[in-house]
Structure formats: structure tokens, C-alpha cells
Structure 1
Amino acid sequence: MMIHSAFIGFGKSATRYHLPYVFQRRDTFRVKTIFDVVRRPALEAESEYQGIHFTDNLNDILLDESITLVTLCTPPETHYDYARQCLEHGKNVIVEKPFTRTLAEAEALFALAAEKGLTVTPFQNRRFDSCFLAAKKVINSGVLGKLVEFESHFDYFRPDAPDAPGDFTHGAFYGLGMHLIDQVVSLFGRPEFVHYDIRAVRNKNNPDDTFELQLYYGDIKAIVKCSHLVMLPYPKFIVHGENGSFIKLNIDQQETSLKSGIMPGSNHFGKDPEWGVLKYQNVQGEMITEKVDAGTGDYGRVYDAVYDTLIHKKPVYVPQQDVLTTMEILHRAFEQPAPALIKLR
């Protein structure tokens, strides 16, 4: 069965992180309409977009009964209003990160979706990073024994930071922290306590560009970090347990491929030359060292999961409670100055 879909927003998010994957799924998805307040005729004319109706009239989506799924790729402050309108007009919705600005907005969207018998879900594509899947594979194998620490990074070296003022939803924490927190929540659930260190280091006129969170799960501590002032490579994932450790250096390579114009389905798309390293002591007391490969990541699996939910009535790929936990951790970060330690409600 074919899902007729539409996009609200036609910027980098839509053209880089969504449409190339949707176009690989032409047997299950047809992109019928794309709305944006600013039209881009030259881009719209490119060959891969032929057959799509482009418009600056939102009603072309809202009033089209054949469209059952809308993906939002717009600025964070617009997410709640666009998602609400789509739900009110009977559309299922995928929302780019951050899902909403506040926990209350997220709760309101879920309540409206439930009332309408519809699905609203965040675009948590980083659940399908190869590096994360490798770490998850190791954790699920149990060879590390009782876990004690999990650490995840988004690091760059981008020392220049021209003035780009904005509110908290335009900082690194809402932009990248959303992914890191969601990955932790998908592994360990709801933490008991969260410690925040959120700062604007490069330019005090801008929203935050550096953060570190420590999420506490009994004896397990999960650390998520982001900095734009890291020149030497640092591991993407570090996992320690009572029986051993796992380290994955490189981040998933899908974004690198997409930026280079290498599209999903190409032979070299998303290929990672570096595997993770796992070292542990087995039940016989032997020290084992293994390479860990989870294959190539695929952000299109978000759309596969949504298709299974809408057509085959399978559970949503990001449970509602995971979304609300992530949103609470994000939103409560700015209730008090950092550094701060909070207990989740």
C-alpha cells in the first residue's frame, strides 16, 4: 500500500536528511506536495523533484484528503503550530528535531493525536547511526557484564562563531542534545537525576554551543557531551562494564556522504572504515578482543518504521514515554542556571 506524503519546509533538512531516503522507498511512499513560505524555483526544477507539486499555500496540503502523512522540516518555533494544524486536518505527522519547544507542547500534540486516532512522532534518525547500533549491539550482548558508564560525544573543531542570536531552541543542546539524550533514553529509559553543564563558549551573544549532561540510573552513569572546540579526535562512544570496555571512534558516515553528494543506494554510501573495539574477560577468565561492526546506518529506517505503524499497526518506533522523557530533560535544563542537578518528576 502506498502512503501519499507531503513536506512542510524545503531547506537543508528536507533535501539532505529526508527526501533522499524517501526517494529510495518509492514502492511505499509518494511525495505529493511540498510547501514552503519561500519558493526556490531553481531547486524545485532539479530532476529528482519532478512530479512533486510545490506550493506556498498550506491548504494545498491540509485540504488534500489523499495526503495522510506530513513531515515538518521547519524552524523549532513553528513545530507545534504546524503539527497541530496537520493533526486537526487528519494527517499523521513526523516532526524534525527538536520535537517541540516545551514538554507541555509535546503532551498537547500527543493528546490531540490520540483524540484523532493519528500518529505524531519525532524524527529521531540517530537511532539508526551505525556507531550507535554498534554500541547498542555490544550492550545487548551482555558480554560487558554489569554496566557502569556510557559516554557519547558530538565533537567538532569550529572555532569561528559569528553572531547568530536566538533562543534556547537554536543552541547546540536542543539541536544536538536531542539526539544524544534520545539514544540514552532508548537504551536505559528514564533517569533518576540529571546534571547539566550548558554554556556558550565561542560567542556569548549566541545560544549555547557546549554542553555536558550526566544522567544517573542507579549504578550506571550516562554522559553526553558536545563541543565545537575539539581538534584531536575523541571516541564517539565509550562503554565500560564490570567485564570489559567498548570504544567506537568514528561517527556514522551518512552525513559525510550526503554532504559529498553520495546518495543512499550508492555503493560507497555511509561506509565507515573503522570498526569498534571490544575487550572483555569471558567466563573462563580469558581476555577477548573483538572488532564490532553494525553495518551501514540508514536514516530511512525511520520511514520504514512509520510505514509499519500506519499500515501494519505496529508500535511507534519511539515510544511516547521516551519522547516525553527526552523533552522533559531538554526543557528543564533552562529552568535554572547551569551547572545544576535536578531530579526528574
Structure 2
Amino acid sequence: MCHYEKTNHGFLRIRKKYKSLSLAYLLERQDRIFVKTIYNPRNKPELEKNYPDTMFTTKVDDVLKDEEIDFISICTPAFTHYELAKICLEHGKNVMIEKPFCETLREAKELIELANEKGLLIMPFQNRRFDGDYLAVKQVLDSGKLGELIEIESHFDYYRPDSNLNKGPNSAGAVYGLGIHLIDQMVALFGRPQAASYDIRSIRNPENPDDYFEINLFYSTWKTKLKSSSLVLTPYPKFIVHGTKGSFVKHGIDRQEKDLKAGIMPGARLFGQDFTEHYGTLSYIAEDGTELTELVETPLGDYGRVYDAVYDTLLLGKEKLVQDSEILTDIEILERGFEKESPSLILL
């Protein structure tokens, strides 16, 4: 447990486009988590005007060797996560890593072991545990109105027909980039599955990393179907949930990211609020045999709750939001999707 009233925070970033999603939520929490330094090797002065109280540097040592910085966020490409996280831990920093946590199960185990040896926090930024649509599914499951769970189908689709040549490792594809969110949501709900099946493809350009997947996670009496494609013009529902007593269908993805891209910041009126026409529909058989239908208002999502959880862990000694076992399960499911030629079935 840390014996101070707030934690100083540093960012490591190496991206062409400035990653402001995390900062938008942190600026609301400066009384608890102060963003002291951002490592920005491209040295773009126009970024600094939005954060006058934050130091920007092109020297990574300004973050690593600053004894006042307790906590570092790594917002870099996936193939850099392992090495950067290891360096941060070796310098005594608590670390949060943009998803995916790293590329391989071996790397994940090593980072977790190193953090535990040093008494430090390490955790991925699994912000979509706080999507409104996902919170709606949790709310419906907790109500018990669906009876015994049969199947959950979850989509993360786009229509982006153009695909330039962009070779890269598996971690540059849709499974690692988007699938990690869908997988982590299911692991957070249900724990480790018994088996997984994979259909992973590059449908727009076969020389590129994957841009389509269907991953089924099998549990004792139910399964989850996780899908993403870059060629879906007419969107599926975001979630379809079936149980022995009913079904829940939810259209539309959480709006926080779209609002941020439109320049609407957390705290603004209507930020992140779902459209009424996208509220989920719950249809079920009541105890008296009556068929009922309810409109389920989407709970308000808040990605900043990831940082609240980090604060509670570092200063109040609470358990991590994303447990070590969940981190390892997530990465194993990702990595093993490429173990065999697709389609494939893997026992976990």
C-alpha cells in the first residue's frame, strides 16, 4: 500500500495520432492522479497547449528516473509493450499497459512475476469493462430473468472496404486489437473457458494481419460467440443473449469513444449517453407463464473507472480490477488463436 494522498502519473506514447482517450478521464481526476510528464518523441508543440500543467519530453529517462512519478501508462504499439513495461518495472514504477497487455503468454507471465516480486501494480487498460452496452448485459444477467444462460453473441464490426498494404505481426491484427476487448469482457463475467474455436482471416488484403474473426469460447453449459469484421455495412446487434427463459438484444456500441473523437469531453452534458432507440430489449417468460417485454435503459459507461480502480489499489490496498489470472487467460486465448491453421479448436 502506498502512503501518500495522490499519485503522480507519466505517459509513454509512440503513436502517429495523439492518444487523448485516457487523458480526458485523468483530467477529471487531477486531485488524485496528477499527470506530471508525457514522453512524446515526436515533439509536437501543438499538443502541449491543451495540458499546460504537464511536462512534455522527448527523453524517456525524464519519466523513468523521476522519483515523484509512481505510475506509468504505456500507450504504444503492442509489440513494444513487453520491453517498455519491463523497463518501467525495473525502475520501480507501477504500470498500466494499453491493450493488449503483451504478445505472448510467456511475456505476460514474466511481467506479472516481476511486478509481484517488486510489490508493484501491473495491469492492462481494459476500459471496455465499463462500456454501457456491456454493463446492460451484466444487469440483465444479474436480474435472473433470462433463466439459465445458453449463448452470448458479441460484435465489434465496421465497414471499411479499403485496405492498404500494412504487413505486421499477429498483434497488429483485429484479434489482438479488438478481440482482446470481447474476450476480456467474457473472462471478466465467467472466468476461464474450457475450450475455444477460431476462424481468423484477412478478408480485404491477404498480405495484411487479420481483419475478421469469429472466436467461440465454450463453458460448461453455454458458449460465447465473439465476432468482428471490417466489411459489415448493415450492423448486427452489439449483443444478443439467449437463456432458457428469454432473450436480450442490444443495438449500438458505447458512445464514449465517438464523443471523444467529436471533441465532447467527460463531464459534458449527455457525454457517453446512449440513444433511446438503441436501448436493449429484454423478452422473457415470467413465473406465471406470461410473456413480457421490457426496454432496458443503457447504464452510463465511464472508462475513467479504470483509473479509479488503480487509485484504490495503489492507495487503499484493494484488489486489482483485472486479476493476474484474467490477464493470463486473455493473452493465452489471443496467442493460441494462431497456434494452428484457422479454423481450429483448442482445449484450454
Amino acid across the alignment from 2:257: E
Q: How many angstroms apart in 2 are the aligned matches of 1:173 and 1:147?
A: 25
Q: How many angstroms apart in 1 are the aligned matches of 2:311 and 2:247?
A: 36
Q: How many angstroms apart in 1 are the aligned matches of 2:297 and 2:96?
A: 29
CA 1:34 to 1:225, structure 2 compared with 1: closer, same or farther past 3 Å?
same
1:301 maps to which residue? 305
Q: Which moved more, 1:121-130 or 1:27-36?
A: 27-36
Partner of 1:112, secondary structure, is: helix
Amino acid across the alignment from 1:214: N
Amino acid across the alignment from 2:245: N
1:76 maps to which residue? 78
Question: C-alpha displacement at 1:13, in angstroms?
Answer: 7.5
Question: C-alpha displacement at 1:188, in angstroms?
Answer: 1.1
Structure 2 residue corresponding to 1:262, chosen from 264, 267, 271: 264
Question: C-alpha displacement at 1:16, in angstroms?
Answer: 2.8
For the 8 Å contact 1:13–1:73, the answer to whether it is kept is no
Partner of 2:240, secondary structure, is: strand
Q: In structure 1, list runs of 5 or more residues that go unmatched.
A: none
1:199 maps to which residue? 201
Structure 2 residue corresponding to 1:35, chosen from 21, 36, 39: 39
2:102 maps to which residue? 100
Amino acid across the alignment from 1:83: A
1:177 maps to which residue? 179
Q: How many angstroms apart in 1 are the aligned matches of 2:17 and 2:142?
A: 31
Trace 1:127-138 onto structure 2 (pairs within 5 A). Answer: 127-138=129-140
1:238-291: CA deviation from partner (whole Å, max 9, x where unpaired) = 100000000100100011101111111110211211211101111111112111
1:16 maps to which residue? 20
CA 1:176 to 1:13, structure 2 compared with 1: closer, same or farther past 3 Å?
farther
1:30-55: CA deviation from partner (whole Å, max 9, x where unpaired) = 100111332112222x2x31121111
Question: C-alpha displacement at 1:162, in angstroms?
Answer: 1.0
Amino acid across the alignment from 1:227: S
- Alignment of 1:327 onto 2:331: yes
TM-score, length of structure 2 as denominator length: 0.96
- Alignment of 1:247 onto 2:240: no
- Alignment of 1:156 onto 2:158: yes
For the 8 Å contact 2:197–2:217, the answer to whether it is kept is yes
For the 8 Å contact 1:277–1:292, the answer to whether it is kept is yes
Trace 1:219-230 onto structure 2 (pairs within 5 A). Answer: 219-230=221-232
The list of structure 1 runs, each at least 4 consecutive aligned residues, that deviate by more than 6 angstroms after superposition, is none
2:217 maps to which residue? 215
Q: How many angstroms apart in 2 are the aligned matches of 1:26 and 1:99?
A: 25
Question: C-alpha displacement at 1:14, in angstroms?
Answer: 6.0
Trace 1:115-126 onto structure 2 (pairs within 5 A). Answer: 115-126=117-128
For the 8 Å contact 2:7–2:34, the answer to whether it is kept is yes
Amino acid across the alignment from 2:54: I
Partner of 1:93, secondary structure, is: strand
Amino acid across the alignment from 2:329: T
Q: How many angstroms apart in 1 are the aligned matches of 2:215 and 2:286?
A: 32
Q: How many angstroms apart in 2 are the aligned matches of 1:81 and 1:308?
A: 27
Q: CA RMSD in A?
A: 1.2
1:237 maps to which residue? 239
Partner of 2:26, secondary structure, is: helix
Q: In structure 2, list runs of 5 or more residues that go unmatched.
A: none
Percent of aligned positions that are identical: 52
